[in-house]
Amino acid sequence: MRLVETAPHSYGSNKVYEGVLGNLVAFACKVSFEHGFYGYVAFEAKSKLVNHYILILKAKSISGTRMFIDTEAADFLVNTYFKD
C-alpha cells in the first residue's frame, strides 16, 4: 500500500465513521488474494501508530516502521469486512 490516511472527521472519540482503516486494508488484502499474493500487504506506518496497527490489523513489523499483513491476518480482515 502506498499511503493510508484517515480523514480528520474519522478519528478520535467523535469520529463520524468506524472501521475505515480495517475496511481499506481488508480490501487491499482481498486484491492481494485475487492476484495470487496470498493476502500479503506491506506498508510504512507512522511511528506512533505501529502498536495500533498490530492490535487492529494484526500487522507485523519487518523493521522499524515497515510493516506487513500476512496470510492469516489478511484472511481475518477479509472475512471480517467482506461477509458474503
pLDDT tens for each residue of 19-76? 888 999 999 999 999 999 999 999 999 888 899 999 999 999 999 899 999 999 999 9
Q: What is the domain range of residue 58?
A: 18-81
Q: Is 24 part of a structural domain of the chain? A: yes
Q: Is 53 part of a structural domain of the chain? A: yes
Radius of gyration in angstroms for the set of CA atoms belonging to the chain, rounded to a whole number? 13
Q: Is 27 part of a structural domain of the chain? A: yes
Query: Which residues, including other chains, have CB under 8 Å from residue 73's CB and lie 6 or more apart?
Result: 29, 39, 57, 58, 59, 60
Where residue 84 falls among pLDDT bands split at 50, 70, 90? low
**pTM of the full structure:** 0.86
Q: Is 4 part of a structural domain of the chain? A: no
